[in-house]
Structure 1
Amino acid sequence: MGRIYVNGVQVTDVDYVLRNGDRVEHWAHRHEHPVRDLPIRIISETDDLLVVEKPPSLPVHTCGQYAIHTVLGQLRVNENRTGLRVLHRLDRATSGVLLFAKNYETDLEFKTTLKQGEWSKEYICKVDGVFPDGEIVCDQPIGPLVITMGIQCVRKDGKEAKSRFRKLWSDGEQSVVQVHIETGRTHQIRVHSQFLGHPIVGDQLYNSAVWGPTKGKNAEYGKSFEELCEAVRNTHKSENWHEKPNPEFERKMEELADDSTVIQPETPGLTTEKRPEFDEICQKCNVESKKVPDNHYQLFLHCLKYETPKWCFQTELPEWAVQK
């Protein structure tokens, strides 16, 4: 299809044999999932470390159809920052403190202290219901429910996990809660708040009737583990997001066939056909995208502070956590 270039020249001979030192380019068309137009705020920076406040909706690094629409992608494209090493992760819809190392030595030092449990990790979340007063400790073990989807649950054979909750305020229907986690299990706060009977507001995974009459409180699901696994898998399977054919696709393809405009792209010395909004071999172009619900972009969970005896990085309370 004429999309392969060698040393800046379009290759039309499929029998061309690559030579040592050839520079090969393939011009492809891709779609990325939408994200919120929110800034990545820099909290602190040294020669060894970059600390930012991650906005909700952005994954930390490339995954699935996310590449530019990631924290690392945005820092690379908008700030020309490359070579950053991921020290820890936050879920795509979670916001808050995020640390990157700039070199191997810092990467090793910080990950060593993290594994040794030296990090104090403080989060803020908004949950359903009026959370009890005083400190509430949840030390239920956590393990996988649907491995392929990364969905977790409280289970006796799970890994040790401990979270300490304390209510900050409540409006009688929902509560904003401070959480210190002493371990770092996948979805730990989401699973433990569900177990306590106060799941995070709007949480697509863990605040749903699929977990039973009480939405998984006290790990009581009203069904066997196998039945729960199947029910949760069916609720979140990819088929539920399949889109309908785009009625504009054929017309766009006719317009593309009539458009022979040639432009000079960013790569010096490389000439290619005008890059269209539609692509004849792109499966995503031939579908009509579904409207994404708001709770897909943001989870009411914010990493407020990470701290050790040597350093401390923190953010302000998110707007949704401030008592009006």
Structure 2
Amino acid sequence: MSSDTSSIDDNAIILVKDTTSTVPSKHRYHTSEHEIRKKLRISSNKQLNRKDISDICNIEEVEYYFENDLRKVKPYYYEYRTFTKKRWIGRTILDVFTTEFRDRSPQYYVHKEHDDMARAIKRGSITVNNQTVSTDTILRNQDFITHKIHRHEPPVTAEKIKIICKNDDLIVINKPGSIPIHPSGRYLYNTVLHILRKEHQLDSLHTINRLDRLTSGITLIAINKQKARELEEQIRSRNVRKEYVCRVLGEFPTEEIICDQPIKCVSHKLGLNSVSSDGKPSTTVFNRVHYNGHTSVVRCKPITGRTHQIRVHLQYLGYPIANDPLYNHPSAWGASKGKGGFDQETTARVIDYFMREGLGDEEKTIVINSETGEETNLTNDKETVISETNNAGERNEDETSDTPVGDEGTHYLNEDYCEECANQKFDDPLPHQLCIWLHALKYEGDGWKYETELPEWAKTDFVGDRDISVDGASIG
């Protein structure tokens, strides 16, 4: 169990199992910060020890079921807890929730039959300092806010998580596309770590390389801290050779291409990255495998490990991954699709587009360090431990962002509403929304190597690239 601590910044929201009930009161009672921190075991310098987080993931209670070739989770109740953010001070509780947590419909907060009274606030689902309050309650510095929700997780593929190797120290899997590795955004139980816990009774898991939800392939998970440190040190010192395969739009050149353009995160909230002169040094080696007249299959060897490195470098070269809903989105990027990089005006326009589409509005369970830009996940319980060196200078993962973008398929809602909470239910995602054509094919270190077979979309007889679209818009 890790004893490391993670700073909680101004954007942190802590997700915990609901264990208490609130009692309405006519008077505003301001629980002392000391008492709240004592109850939550949070020190005065706002540091949270992972081992002290409540047992938020009772894997025995989770109910998976399978429908339409998808894995689904039966909805359940959870509670978010946070202290007032600086930007919330002086605003009403209703204003904060209706403007900053737009993943919930206005009907969730506002009850038409009760003079614009917010239903969730009135019934005590949202509390301040453990007390039920009115919708016009003004938030003050260090107010403690809770939000008990009926949580609906988006469906993921029903494809089995194939175990390539398992011993006393390590488990290596071939991760299917659509399944996040660890809890983030809307996903908690529909994640690799909790599926492994449920189906293979594997606890105390330490993720080493963490692929994006839509990316498939080799994923290394240590079963003890010593193995985790060993592999993380190998990756940090660049003694691990990685090879990916992808399918890109157009005819990729036959000669080897080395892209060494620096990469910078241009929006932490969206997880959007771009080639930038003031970015971090980044190098990827590309070699074409074959071309079918429409798309090319390319082998990619990332020398560094920046977030979205392969996707960003391919976009810069003018050969974006053909079904990439982020870096090859036609409505966001326009005709150039980001080839050769883009200026500040284009960056602002793209960010605005994705924000208007709702990407980034989910209640995040991620902390982003404002100084380093690194991310730490707070939804790990006593038994499921995230890698201890997340904030190392050289990131351990090539394609992960842990932010709502990358979860581009989670916003497909139907017209059916949950009777329990009045939220819209998720539509079943279509097959093309379950993966991106990017696959971690091989990881190799000193004395070890793990490799998967080629995915179907990377083979020469694949014809599924003839009609590629995102949200109904052709990206071919």
Q: Same fold (TM over 0.5)?
A: yes
- Within the candidate set 120, 123, 136, 2:244 is matched to 123
- Specify the alignment match of 2:433 in structure 1: 296
Letter in structure 2 aligned against 1:217: K
1:90 and 2:211 aligned: yes
- Within the candidate set 248, 273, 278, 1:152 is matched to 273
> Unpaired runs of 5+ in structure 1?
250-277
1:218 and 2:340 aligned: yes
Where does 1:36-115 land on structure 2 (aligned, <5 Å)?
36-115=157-236
- Specify the alignment match of 1:179 in structure 2: 300
CA shift at 1:36, angstroms?
Answer: 0.8
Deviations 1:58-85 (A, max 9, x none): 0001112212211111111111111111
CA shift at 1:294, angstroms?
Answer: 3.8
CA shift at 1:182, angstroms?
Answer: 0.2
Which region of structure 1 is more displaced relative to structure 2, 292-301 or 234-243? 234-243
C-alpha change, 1:323 and 1:221, in structure 2 (3 Å) is farther
- Specify the alignment match of 2:256 in structure 1: 135
Where does 1:184-203 land on structure 2 (aligned, <5 Å)?
184-203=305-324
CA shift at 1:211, angstroms?
Answer: 2.1
Percent of aligned pairs with the same residue? 37
Where does 1:238-317 land on structure 2 (aligned, <5 Å)?
241=411, 243=413, 246=416, 278-279=419-420, 282-284=421-423, 287-290=424-427, 292-317=429-454
- Within the candidate set 440, 455, 461, 1:318 is matched to 455
Mapped to 2, the partners of 1:104 and 1:299 lie a distance apart of: 31
Aligned pairs, number: 279
Q: Is the 8 A contact 2:179 2:190 kept in 1?
A: yes
RMSD of aligned alpha carbons:
3.2
Letter in structure 2 aligned against 1:303: A
C-alpha change, 1:246 and 1:109, in structure 2 (3 Å) is same
Deviations 1:9-65 (A, max 9, x none): xx9999xxx9xxxx9999735321110110111111111111111011000011122
Letter in structure 2 aligned against 1:215: K
Mapped to 1, the partners of 2:209 and 2:18 lie a distance apart of: 37
C-alpha change, 1:63 and 1:283, in structure 2 (3 Å) is farther
CA shift at 1:221, angstroms?
Answer: 6.0
Could you state the TM-score of these two structures normalised by the residue count of structure 1?
0.77
Q: Is the 8 A contact 1:146 1:233 kept in 2?
A: no
Deviations 1:217-273 (A, max 9, x none): 1114694543443344334536794857646x6xxxxxxxxxxxxxxxxxxxxxxxx
Q: Is the 8 A contact 2:249 2:320 kept in 1?
A: yes
Q: Secondary structure at the match of 1:110?
A: helix
Mapped to 2, the partners of 1:31 and 1:232 lie a distance apart of: 23
Mapped to 2, the partners of 1:42 and 1:141 lie a distance apart of: 35
- Specify the alignment match of 1:237 in structure 2: 359
C-alpha change, 1:289 and 1:166, in structure 2 (3 Å) is same
Mapped to 1, the partners of 2:272 and 2:249 lie a distance apart of: 20
C-alpha change, 1:48 and 1:155, in structure 2 (3 Å) is same
Mapped to 2, the partners of 1:165 and 1:4 lie a distance apart of: 49
Which region of structure 1 is more displaced relative to structure 2, 204-213 or 173-182? 204-213
